[in-house]
A and B are shown apart, each in its own frame.
Chain A
Amino acid sequence: MNLALVTSRDTDQAVRVASPLAVRGMTVSYGQTPAIFSVDMTVRAGAMTAVVGPNGAGKSTLLKAALGVIAPLAGSVTVFGQPMAAMRDRIAYVPQRTSVDWDFPVRVIDVVMMGMYRKLGLLGRVRGQHKALAQDCLDRVGMADFAHRQIGQLSGGQQQRVFLARALAQEADIYVLDEPFAGVDAATEKAIIAVLQGLRDAGKTVLAVHHDLATVPDYFDDVVLLNTQVVAAGPVAEAFTEANLQAAYGGRLTTARVDPESVAG
């Protein structure tokens, strides 16, 4: 809720068309408690945006509802001003690593090929160019040597890189990541952030759920502070303030990892 912000219908419409991903009035509830309530979010093109908030604030829920992975109770989503259904090819998604059965009988290269599902369709033949793209995506995340391993044999950080490679193989304009740095080693975190910044520099849009407040200013351009509702949103310098963090985390900020020097304002 931007309480003080009153927009006219026209400017709001214009902002939505320009935005790679715009969410309006999104409410999702599990049972009778809303995980997110009436969330508005407009992601800026060509920027890296972090969704930040305390545990149970609905960060993952917001991403999943925006991508149509779960059904919202209310709300609408547009991608470059168009309905999501028509624009799926332009969005790549990296789900939480823990949501997957890692014992599944599949090799690393097969996982990356899954990112090309919309290009290949049901029966499209896998050609040399597809294999080359998959191998290239693995190379970009530093996993080229692991192509023929079974995924269950990889470490957590390696699995996360494979997931990122699969998203790269989608060749999208918007990259949506759910907790990409959860439970990964420092080297993987560096590698992932380098790839994401490379995407941003190439004009792509990145939106990620992030749990480490200390690194927000280093990694991201924009931030959305979420606690069931949007508490604040905008460029890090403006929105990532002590007051806003207090508002988002309430009394819980003391338990969150935060480096005072990195918090603006």
Chain B
Amino acid sequence: MGAEFVALSLPPILIGVLVAVACALPGNFLLLRGQALIGDAISHVVLPGIVVAFLLTGLVATGPMLLGAAGAAVIAVVAIEAVRRLGKIEAGAAMGVIFTAMFAGGVLLLEQSDTSSVHLDVEHALYGNLESLIWLDATGWGSLLDPVALAGLPVELPRMALALLVIAVFVGLFWRPLALSTFDEGFARGLGIRTAPLGLALVIMSAIAAVAAFDAVGSIIVIAMFICPPAAARMMTNRLGHQVAWSVVFAVLAAVSGYVLAGYGPLWIGAQASVSAAGMIATVSGIILGLAAVAGPHRTRNG
């Protein structure tokens, strides 16, 4: 548990934790708004957004990718709303039409274009490669204080930290209007809160979490973290602040134990190699949700 841990395991664990918390925070409000599946839709449209950004700029750079993905998320949300209103079609079906079509378009664009030189493919988009985010310059715990070694940290770590910071500031700053408009939209509008832009901002924050996480861990973990920790947390408490706190705890727990289980679990049962960390983190979050659904103190509507 020395140099090897700091170099090989610490960065992916930290990145996993940052991803999990960044998704769980907006996930709480999406869950309470009955928009849990918006997280699902967003993480599917991140792929076409990034592919289009890549085709337009020819770069795999954070800026264009972020813009492309956020743009795709906004387009998706607007399109879903348009289909819902024009066709008088329930939100779930409208969502199913739009995000599958955008994802399909992204896949075809990706397969058709020459992306062999860059790190972009469908499977990567789905479950990422958390294990590869290692810190070669680290020689031990001391490296955490060594500026030269710190410069060699995987770029995903500061990127994800920044995304989490932006999201946390957003949730902190707009906590009151978010809670108010989620609970009672009519009253919120009567107070002069502009609920439509606020809802869109929440979606954009979710898109930021999804796109920043996408490169490191793929979209499946993003969907799991948007939904499972907040859903489990909802069954632990009847207060919004406590729910968000529980969801952060669950997200961290799932990220850390999922990574450890994926990396070391197979060794404990005598197998050779490790399994997908992203898949295992999603699995652990599901187990946590299952436990909360069976034993959470506030798991039913009247409890």
Contact = CB atoms under 8 A, between A and B. Distances in A.
Interface in A74-128: 85, 88, 91, 93, 95-96, 99-101, 103-107, 110-111, 114, 117-118, 120, 122-123
B238 A107 contact: yes
Interface stretch (A38-46, A61-69, A129-137): A61-69
A114 B174 contact: no
A150 interface: yes
A176 B189 CA distance: 14
Contacts of B175: 122
B175 to A, nearest CB: 8
A120 B193 CA distance: 13
B117 interface: no
Given A69-B190, A118-B191, A122-B177, A101 B32 contact: yes
A162 B161 CA distance: 41
Contacts of B184: 95, 99-100, 114
A64 B193 CA distance: 14
B44 interface: no
B168 to A, nearest CB: 14
Contacts of B34: 101
Interface residues of B, number: 29
A153 interface: yes
B32 A104 contact: yes
A95 B180 contact: no
A78 to B, nearest CB: 16
B301 A152 contact: yes
A interface bracket (residues with beta carbon within 8 Å of B): 20 to 34
Contacts of B174: 122
B192 A69 contact: no
Contacts of B173: 122-123
Contacts of B177: 117, 122
A117 B189 contact: no
B189 A69 contact: yes
Given A88-B192, A166-B187, 17 more contacts: A64-B186, A67-B189, A67-B190, A68-B189, A88-B190, A88-B191, A93-B187, A95-B184, A99-B185, A100-B183, A105-B243, A106-B183, A106-B239, A107-B238, A114-B184, A117-B191, A117-B193
Interface of B: 32, 34, 173-177, 179-180, 182-187, 189-193, 234, 237-240, 242-243, 301-302
Interface of A: 64, 67-69, 85, 88, 91, 93, 95-96, 99-101, 103-107, 110-111, 114, 117-118, 120, 122-123, 150, 152-153, 166, 176
